[in-house]
Amino acid sequence: MSFIPQDWQPAADELSGKTILVTGASRGIGRALALACAQRGAEVLLLGRDEAALENIYDEITAAKLKTPGLIPLDLNSGDSALYETLAGELTAAGVILDGLVNNASVLGERRALAQTSPQSWQEVLQVNITSVFLLTRALMPLLEAAPSASVILTSSGVGRRGKAYWGAYAVSKFATEGYMQVLAEELGSTSSVRVNSLNPGAVNTRMRRLAYPAEPPGTNPEPSELTDRWIYLLSDASHELNGEALDAQG
């Protein structure tokens, strides 16, 4: 797999003039990334199902006198395509042009053997982790196409590149994420200015990581804020030639 340049540092205004939509923006990597994008000059659209948590990061961004973000309360566990089309219509009506879409939201689901995985958990994980990515990206593609050089980033996982026992639906969903990235990148590669890449964060001190590895000392892994430059690189014009790459945030 490819690596983000470890010595690359974003300028203070690296994302100035860009509008970036981040899913799962209420906590973990999504929250840290939303704040980092705002600090680099972007207008950030915060999407998540926990409206109170979204309002919290909204307040933090506005208190820092950064560009006022947008709030998008949306439960990605819904497979109703009309919800995603309605969102796209509202953004279009507001004159939004998307320079970046970070499909970051994920749920872990049940950590057990596939034979013991409940159909309900399987369905939720696949819906949130991959089907909603298809529905949201499909609905927002006209807004991405309207930008000079838009970037779509899919947050992947190591267990989506090599299967691991007891990771069940989560691992399957991340394999699907990689496949979706490859297909969409190839489809757009010769016809569009939209580029599509996946990024595996590696081990990061997030709530999901602590749920997956409850015995692991939290301080073992970097904080999400220590890795946000990797996503910013892919959202910036510095990565305009990257398309269809499976990347790693940590060497």
Detail the DSSP E strand segments found in the chain. Answer: 2-3, 19-23, 43-48, 70-73, 100-103, 151-155, 195-200, 246-248
| 84: annotated active-site residue | no
Which of 84, 170, 180, 233 is catalytic? The answer is: 170
Rg (Cα) of the chain, in Å, rounded? 17
Q: Among all chains, which residue has been given the structure tokens 């819906």? A: 127
The secondary structure of the chain in percent helix, strand, coil, rounded to multiples of 5, reads 45, 15, 40
Phi-psi region of 95 (alpha: psi -120 to 50; beta: other; left: phi over 0): left
| Termini Cα distance of the chain | 10
Structure tokens at 120: 């309900």
Structure tokens at 244: 């269809």
Give 28: exposed, middle or buried? Use CB within 10 Å, 0-12, 13-18, 19+. Answer: buried
Query: 46: number of CA atoms within 13 Å, CB side?
Result: 32
SS3 54: helix
Least Cα distance to 104 among 79, 137, 71, 146 occurs for: 137
- Cα(25)–Cα(220) distance, integer angstroms: 23
Would you please indicate which residues are annotated as catalytic (active-site) residues?
170
